Structure 1
């Protein structure tokens, strides 16, 4: 393999701050799963230094020995302020929130409130693999409603899934991924209002995973599900985790619409013991003081979307890629390459690039890969070069 180019020092773009040598010092999943000759562009960790306000908040807490149990509503208040400033939404009421360990464990707790063993949970596939894993492990069953050809919600498909889900008269939920992972689709207000109306007509409860909400293109806007008409009995899970690269600092918030507040209040008190106190400190600092850093990351991801589109057009023109407005993930249709259902295996074995296999995202994922854009332009360029070389 040719040497990997080094990232350049660019104070305006956090994605250009760290070299490959810097990144390989990390001990997290992204950097320890594969050998050192593999470029890891798979799991959703960003190749960035911590935002300074977050690092300072953590180090200040450690210096004080402030490493006990979490308490208070600072995180919820910071998220409410962020939602008001960023999304022009005043509907995030601190009293209608609950601290949970992370978004997926929060989803589990909320689904326990809304459904029982064996009940159906509708998902839009292809979708984040833990949706399948966590739902089935809690003894619920997944009902798929495939996305449309453009990667947006197919309402005929969704209505069919709702009809099937409630056919036996039981309780049903819809686990909405917004923005959608892996496609990056940012659902608009009209679509979300249609979701709320359809769910109401079938008696399906909506639970929105909005973990990627802060990470949208600079020219795009995010619409919280609970902000649209008809979503009053919905629930949302939010976190600063993805936007500020805080997966190792566990904390998230469950947020209820006004008609779901009593249900959210039934979450067992011991669930609030699961989040890390340092995690809550970090997430609160990110939401309060990390806005400039976030916008720099968003600009860097925007640049990388354009870069990837150009690189694929030049080196892998058969790969279909539709740059999306949300997340820092790219969904690549590699079926024209003839690499079978799992092209990620070929890119790993022959090109030494680790990507997420599309087969793990459910129906519609075969022949696709998910690529993490939150890296330096140099590493992204090298990854596409290796992917192209894997075909020769």
Structure 2
């Protein structure tokens, strides 16, 4: 394997702080799923050191032996403050929140509240693979509403899926991914209001996965689903895990609109036993004191989106890529390369770069790969160079 240049320490960009050697000391999934000659740009972990306020909060808790069971509303209070400062949203009512182990398990619990076994759950494909896995595992059925060619919600397709979902008179839900994974699309206020109106017309309950909410481009604006007119009966799941790289410190929040408060109140008490006390401490510190660090990451991601576009234009010009406003993921259309339904398998075998396979994201995923941008410019450059070499 050719040596990879080390990252250039840059205090203003957390994505440039760690070398490949330092990253390979990690024992998390991203760095242990593949051999050492593979560059991992697949699972949603960021190549960053934790923000200092989070490190301090965790180490202080451990030093005082504060490692028991979670209690209180500090996490919800911190999220409400973040939402007010960042999104101009005063409607996050702490009394209409509940802690859950993580966003996907929270989604399962919310779907159980508003649907029953065998009921349909609408998703906008291509979409995050666990949507399919978790929904079917809980004995619901997935109804796909494909995104449009512009990778935004296709409202004609969404209405048709709603019509199908309620055709037998039963209950149905819409699992909204906002910002969207894998495309990185950030839904606008008008789009979300249209979603709410359509859901109300057909009696479909909306459950919004907003885990990537804080991670948008510096010139983009995230709009919480529950903040738009007509979303009063909606449910949302939020977490600091993606934005501050805290996936291993389990904690998330379920949020209910005013008309969904009774639904949330029916959530079994034992669900609140799943979140980690240290996780809640870490997430709370991130939301309260990690804003400057987050903005530095967002700036670094903006740079990486531009870098990726330039690298692809130079080395893989046939690949179609639209730099997105949200998440730290890039959705690459590799169909012009003629690599079949799963180009990620080719890039792994021939180029030793691990990407997420497109077919796993459902209809519209064949011929695509998802690339994790949350790494150093040096590693990103080397990965594209290897991807190009895989075609030789």
Q: TM-score range by the shorter chain?
A: over 0.9
In structure 1, C-alpha distance between the alignment counterparts of 2:244 and 2:5, rounded to whole Å: 25
1:377 alignment partner in structure 2: 377
Matches within 5 A, 1:31-180: 31-180=31-180
Query: Does 2:324 correspond to 1:324?
Result: yes
In structure 2, C-alpha distance between the alignment counterparts of 1:65 and 1:362, rounded to whole Å: 45
How many positions carry a matched residue from both structures? 392
1:333 alignment partner in structure 2: 333
In structure 1, C-alpha distance between the alignment counterparts of 2:353 and 2:263, rounded to whole Å: 45
Q: Deviations over 1:91-125 (max 9, x none)?
A: 00000000000000000000000000000000000
Q: Deviations over 1:50-98 (max 9, x none)?
A: 0100000000000011000000000000000000000000000000000
Shift of 1:376: 0.1
Shift of 1:2: 1.7
In structure 1, C-alpha distance between the alignment counterparts of 2:266 and 2:23, rounded to whole Å: 42
1:281 alignment partner in structure 2: 281
Runs of 4+ in 1 over 4 A off after TM superposition: none
**3-state secondary structure, aligned to 1:330:** strand
Q: Give the TM-score taking structure 2 as reference length.
A: 1.00
Q: Deviations over 1:188-239 (max 9, x none)?
A: 0000000000000000000000000000000000000000000000000000
2:18 alignment partner in structure 1: 18
What residue ranges of structure 2 are gaps of 5+ in the alignment? none
In structure 2, C-alpha distance between the alignment counterparts of 1:32 and 1:166, rounded to whole Å: 44
Query: Does 2:363 correspond to 1:366?
Result: no
In structure 2, C-alpha distance between the alignment counterparts of 1:86 and 1:191, rounded to whole Å: 20
Shift of 1:5: 1.2
Shift of 1:329: 0.2
Query: Does 2:240 correspond to 1:240?
Result: yes
Cα root mean square deviation, aligned = 0.3
In structure 2, C-alpha distance between the alignment counterparts of 1:166 and 1:86, rounded to whole Å: 36
Q: Deviations over 1:177-196 (max 9, x none)?
A: 00000000000000000000
**3-state secondary structure, aligned to 1:208:** strand
Shift of 1:277: 0.2
2:213 alignment partner in structure 1: 213
**3-state secondary structure, aligned to 1:47:** coil
In structure 2, C-alpha distance between the alignment counterparts of 1:75 and 1:266, rounded to whole Å: 21
In structure 1, C-alpha distance between the alignment counterparts of 2:364 and 2:352, rounded to whole Å: 25
In structure 1, C-alpha distance between the alignment counterparts of 2:338 and 2:59, rounded to whole Å: 50
Shift of 1:347: 0.1
Q: Deviations over 1:118-158 (max 9, x none)?
A: 00000000000000000000000000000000100000000
In structure 1, C-alpha distance between the alignment counterparts of 2:346 and 2:271, rounded to whole Å: 42
**3-state secondary structure, aligned to 1:60:** helix
1:348 alignment partner in structure 2: 348
In structure 2, C-alpha distance between the alignment counterparts of 1:375 and 1:315, rounded to whole Å: 19
Shift of 1:300: 0.3
